[in-house]
Amino acid sequence: MTAERVLTPTPAAYRWRWLALTALLLGEAMNLLDATIVQVAAPKIHADLGGSVSDIQWFTTAYTLPFAVLLITGGRLGDIAGRKRLFVIGVTGFMVASAACAAAPTVGLLITFRAVQGAAAAVIIPQTIGLIKTMFSGPEMSKALGSIGPVMGLAAVCGPVLGGVLTHADLFGSSWRAAFLVNIPVSLVVLAISPRLMENRAPRRPSLDVTGTLLAMVGIGLVVYPLIGADLTALSGWSWAAIAAGLCLMAVFTVHQRAVAAAGRSPLVEPSLFAHRGFPAALVTSMSFFAVTNGLMMVIVLQLQLGLGTDVLKAGLTLAPWSVGLAVASWVAGAHLVRRYGHRMMSLGLAVLLVGLLAAVAVYHAADPHKYPTLLLFALGIVGLGVGLFSPAFFTIALKPLQPQEIGSAAGLLNAVQHLGATLGVAVLGSVYLGSADDGGAPAALHAVQIAFWVAAALVVASFATSRMMVDKNAPADAGAGH
């Protein structure tokens, strides 16, 4: 990674840094809010616009897939054209795409505009850390970077509830469209503050790996597309061929990245990252873990609204204990526990998450298929605690052994894989649920959600195994501590 060049006054002299930080944090929060708001509103969107039931998965996947694939490219564009400029372009594109989503008259157009939203978010998010480092220094920079976690926790709490409230309120007849319209005033606030940001770019113009980006996009798309809405026990020959082709393209992508680095150009992903045994394990862990968290949110909403016929507000409030548990545990773990207990917090978080999943299975098993499972709220609170305990330790351990010049690429790749895992989780767990429910009414839907939770529990066990590979066996017990 090249050194960054500040194009305006030094951070210590910059009087607008805290106001500018507000714009960056709001931009970060919009990304998380938009994903969770739409998950809750998705069944209502389907009821209004029609189309296939599998389109419900696409309302989320169409956003997270381009976001995951283009995230690293978005960071590279900031190096080339300037991070402030890219941030403003991204927010403007996100706002326009949100308005288009709100006005979409058909399912096809809505999914298209969601993809544009995801691409715009991939331009916004990678600029945040670079801009913070431009405007802050010393202890203030640590404080500014540390503010990202609590803001994300707050967004996680507000997203499902806000999605339910806005859709249920039906303000001015907007129904689910309000879930997209809420982005417009937030974007306008960000754009009003953005002139206070300090411009920043790499001193030497890096090259843009267009071939690598296309290989990654097509390869991942071929793997994910056949899984959306499919019966995973009876995939067609075409589906298997597409998945195989996608995996082959990802292998070609790997070879291409090494060739680009060997030629002295700028690869999309730094090959040196894979010299560390723990980093590939971190990527696999991230994918499986976030597949569980994002996929299950979709499954819970589908079962409540399609299986039980509950309204969107109740579905949103059902996810509130999960979000609150996540926010509280994430803050406690990040502020105190990771520093003291290090990598052991990953195992504790996964264990608590697994307990929550098994508790949810027990609740669903004992529940009346025609009644709302009240005890599910307690199980989802435990799930949220597990997610919150795991996440701060995971990102600390994943980045700790890397060299300074690798951190930027590694953070971008982890973020990209996180959202790819979210995409696969919605595709796979959503398909497990929809394939098992199969229009069999409330009893079938209740059985289907139990199957999805068992699959998620298996993924958590796999995450435990891969997370153990991240830990340096020769390091002290507290080697993961610190931020």
Q: What is the CATH number of the domain that holds 108?
A: 1.20.1250.20
Same domain, 369 and 280: yes
Burial of 482 (0-12, 13-18, 19+ CB in 10 A): exposed
The conformation of residue 368, written as its DSSP 8-state character, comes to -
List Cβ<8 Å contacts ≥24 apart for 409-413: 409/1, 409/72, 409/269, 409/270, 409/273, 410/270, 410/273, 410/279, 411/129, 412/71, 412/72, 412/75, 412/126, 413/72, 413/269, 413/273, 413/283
Same domain, 179 and 288: no
Does 65 map to a domain? yes
Q: Find, among 386, 129, 127, 400, the residue nearest to 282 by Cα.
A: 400
Same domain, 339 and 319: yes
Please list the ranges in the chain whose pLDDT falls under 70. 1-13, 142, 146, 149-150, 153, 156-157, 202-206, 229-234, 404-409, 438-440, 472-483
Same domain, 361 and 460: yes
Same domain, 302 and 350: yes
Which tokens hold the place of 460?
């958590």
Does 54 map to a domain? yes
Does 205 map to a domain? no
Radius of gyration, alpha carbons of the chain = 22
| 29, containing H or E segment | helix 17-49
Distance CA 68, CA 152 (A): 18
Same domain, 108 and 23: yes
Which tokens hold the place of 230?
């499919």
Distance CA 409, CA 395 (A): 14
Same domain, 256 and 280: no
Does 235 map to a domain? yes
**Number of compact structural domains in the chain:** 3
Beta-carbon-side half-sphere exposure of residue 142 (alpha carbons within 13 Å)? 5
Which tokens hold the place of 445?
């839907």
| Distance, C-alpha 295 to centroid of its chain | 11
Does 4 map to a domain? no
pLDDT in tens, 338-392: 888 888 999 999 999 999 999 999 999 998 888 899 999 999 999 999 998 998 8
Give the range of the structural domain holding residue 434, as residue numbers without chain letter: 272-472
Same domain, 135 and 181: yes
Place of tokens 């029609």: 50
Same domain, 219 and 368: no
Which tokens hold the place of 453?
């939770």
Does 224 map to a domain? yes
Same domain, 363 and 246: no
Which tokens hold the place of 41?
């509103």
Does 372 map to a domain? yes
Q: Which of 166, 199, 232 is the last residue of a domain?
A: 199
Residue 60: per-residue pLDDT: 84
Same domain, 230 and 175: no
What number of other Cβ atoms are within 10 A of residue 255's Cβ?
Answer: 10
The string of DSSP letters for 223-250 reads: HHGGGTT--TTS--HHHHHHHHHHHHHH
Does 477 map to a domain? no
3-state helix, strand, coil in the chain (%, to 5): 80, 0, 20
Residue 231: per-residue pLDDT: 64
Q: What length does the chain have?
A: 483
Same domain, 290 and 154: no
Q: Which of 175, 199, 223 is the last residue of a domain?
A: 199
Q: What residues are paired with 200 via a beta bridge?
A: 6
Phi, psi of 65 (to 5 degrees): -65, -55
Distance CA 332, CA 386 (A): 12
